[in-house]
Structure 1
């Protein structure tokens, strides 16, 4: 059975994340519903990871297996004609049978967008930014240096997922211009992320940008391995999964 790899974009505002939920609307559920209109029995879709409720994607990866007689379906065009407007297939390709969207992944990039003006937030940007107000970028960048490299990120993992190890390696935390003068984009790249880890890191960096924490506090929080020592989780709407890396692309 040919294995089809999908690269997806979606506005996560009206979804309870990517992964199937018994009673909630999810991206995986919409994909399987669309495939059910092509197959007699819809295949199971496997994602590279579960994005949280309200989190967006520009490069989520998923795969499914299809019968030989369906291998030449124009998947991108067909699925986009069946999916809701807030989900889009950017690319569809046949891959080797041993490819797995989750287990073959070797790294991910997320971006988090902050709105930094107090007086207002543009209505059409509210679904995609954290309206946090002014922050000290230099203080945030200094604190971010503490988080680079290999660490046990237990203090930045929310409960809900069992993992073999909480050690991860962050190779990039960088600041970039947003789509307008009031927005700033923070990019996070790592070999893997724990549950809500990027949102927790962003919450910590914003606390630094507000003068509530400094680099020594971040070191202390890391060393504590205690989630209760870290600041609250940043809201979901500012976060987007940008890309997932696989061995051929490293």
Structure 2
């Protein structure tokens, strides 16, 4: 069998997340349906992570296996001709059979976009931002500094996905300019994320920016390990998965890999 790595972009607004669900529309379900039509058989697609309902992606990575004789199909063109318009394949590459979209990832990056103009949000942006209003950036950045590094992030994990450890290393949490003067973009990079961790951290930062929580209190929240002690989860539409990072040897560009 050959292994194909896909890079996907999607508008998550009308999806019930990435993960396959029996009665709801999901990104994984759409991709698997297309592959079944192309290959004539049910084919499982493995994603780098599970984005929630309403969350977007520009670099979600997935992989699937197919018969060796079908490996050379023009996968990007074939899938995009079949997929709905709110999900697209931006790259399709043969990889080593040792590559795994989830387990081979060394880190992952998300971006969260805030809209700060009080009273309105542009209709064109409402599906991709949290219209949180004015905030104190200095307070938010002070709180972000507390969260950087290795911590037990149990306080910022929602229930639903059991994990062996809630310790993660957040290597970047920084603010940048948005697509318009009314926006700010917050970039999160870590070796891994817990369920809704980015949205929970974002909710905490905005609470600090609104003066409802002091930045110095964030350390106590971390120590508490209690989700109920932290501010509410930020809404999903402001969040986009930028993508995972992999080691150079995970690609078929490395001549030492046994690629199809």
Alignment of 1:1-250 (within 5 A): 1-248=1-248
Q: How far apart, in 1, do the equivalents of 2:6 and 2:249 lie?
A: 16
Structure 2: where are the runs of 5+ without partners? 251-260
Q: How far apart, in 2, do the equivalents of 1:241 and 1:187 lie?
A: 10
SS in 2 for 1:28: helix
Shift of 1:241: 0.2
SS in 2 for 1:176: strand
Q: How far apart, in 2, do the equivalents of 1:95 and 1:249 lie?
A: 10
Q: How far apart, in 2, do the equivalents of 1:145 and 1:70 lie?
A: 49
CA distances 1:190-230 after superposition (whole Å, capped 9, x unpaired): 00000000000000000000011122210010000000110
Q: How far apart, in 1, do the equivalents of 2:106 and 2:159 lie?
A: 23
Q: How far apart, in 2, do the equivalents of 1:197 and 1:20 lie?
A: 21
TM-score, with normalisation over the residues of structure 1? 0.98
Shift of 1:249: 8.2
Q: How many residues align?
A: 250
SS in 2 for 1:189: strand
SS in 2 for 1:38: helix
SS in 2 for 1:53: coil
Give every structure 1 segment of 4 or more consecutive aligned residues whose post-TM-superposition deviation is greater than 6 Å.
none
Let me know the Cα RMSD of the aligned residues. 1.0
SS in 2 for 1:208: helix
Q: How far apart, in 2, do the equivalents of 1:127 and 1:53 lie?
A: 12
Shift of 1:142: 0.7
Q: How far apart, in 2, do the equivalents of 1:114 and 1:59 lie?
A: 20
Q: How far apart, in 2, do the equivalents of 1:174 and 1:130 lie?
A: 17
Q: How far apart, in 2, do the equivalents of 1:215 and 1:235 lie?
A: 21
Q: How far apart, in 2, do the equivalents of 1:111 and 1:230 lie?
A: 21
Q: How far apart, in 2, do the equivalents of 1:153 and 1:68 lie?
A: 43
Structure 1: where are the runs of 5+ without partners? none
2:258 maps to which residue? none
Q: How far apart, in 1, do the equivalents of 2:179 and 2:190 lie?
A: 24
Q: How far apart, in 1, do the equivalents of 2:248 and 2:211 lie?
A: 42
Shift of 1:43: 1.0
Q: How far apart, in 2, do the equivalents of 1:119 and 1:227 lie?
A: 31
